Amino acid sequence: MMTLEDIKLEMAETIRLYNSKGWSPATSTNYSFKDELNTVWVSRSGVDKSQFSENDFIVVDEFGNATKEFAEQRPSAETLIHCVLYQLFPETKVILHSHSVFPVVMSELQKTGNISFHGYEVQKGFVGQPSHESQLLIPVFENTQDMVQFSETLKQNVARISNHSFLMKKHGTYAWGKDLFEAKRHLETLEYLCECEYRLHAIK
């Protein structure tokens, strides 16, 4: 079993990797995980993700407030979203949030409240997707700075969030899983699909 320090190191490495891909411009994006005691650790606010280390995670309570020895530090403004996702999907252990370009652009191009994918082999990167022949729907929610309001939106639309991810319009992607491997798989699958759809859209 991985230790807490092992998880922190692996998460920090992933965060730096995603920064190198251009998925976390400036100090944007946030990440979290739950340890074996179900304590939520979330990325500290205002950290350059290219320099993110295992020491940049802090503990938060169920309302997203920093606790224990971290009480004077500031978690990401979107920490409440992480907390609500852990409540709605109890099997979740890792949540990743990206500001990559293609999902953000596709979130604006969609007109139905969902981005739809069909026929892509990589769709099977999502747990529960058995075939490229099925239709994959990823919900798109309006962006807001009111995290309490947005949390209520997630609760009211939980039935639509069936593929371990969603998009905030002109904002970014949230993806999660039962461990870091699965969360990465979901985030990277959605990233690939959005880039494919954008490039197809661009040449039509």
* Tens-place pLDDT, residues 126-158: 999 888 888 999 999 999 999 999 999 999 999
How many CA atoms does the CB half-sphere of 94 hold within 13 Å? 19
Sign of CA dihedral 163, 37, 172, 180: negative
201, 18, 184, 52: CA torsion to nearest 10: -150
pLDDT surpasses 90 at 110? no
How many distinct structural domains can be found in the chain?
Answer: 1
Q: Which residue's entry shows tokens 């959605």?
A: 190
Residue spans of alpha helices (H) in 40-158: 79-88, 101-109, 147-156
Helices (H), the chain: 4-20, 79-88, 101-109, 147-156, 180-203
How far apart, in whole angstroms, are the C-alpha atoms of residue 78 and residue 88? 16
Reported as a pLDDT band with limits 50, 70 and 90, residue 203 is confident
Neighbours of 174 (CB within 10 A): 26
Q: What is the mean pLDDT of residues 163-177?
A: 97
| pTM to 2 decimal places | 0.96
Looking at residue 106, its pLDDT comes to 95
Structural domain harbouring 70: 4-203
As a residue count, the chain comes to 204
How would you classify the pairing of strands 165-168 and 172-177? antiparallel
CA distance 83 to 42: 10
How many Å apart are CA 80 and CA 46, to the nearest integer?
Answer: 17
Largest CA distance in the chain: 55
74-107 tens-digit pLDDT = 888 899 999 999 999 999 999 999 999 999 999 9
CATH of the domain at 167: 3.40.225.10
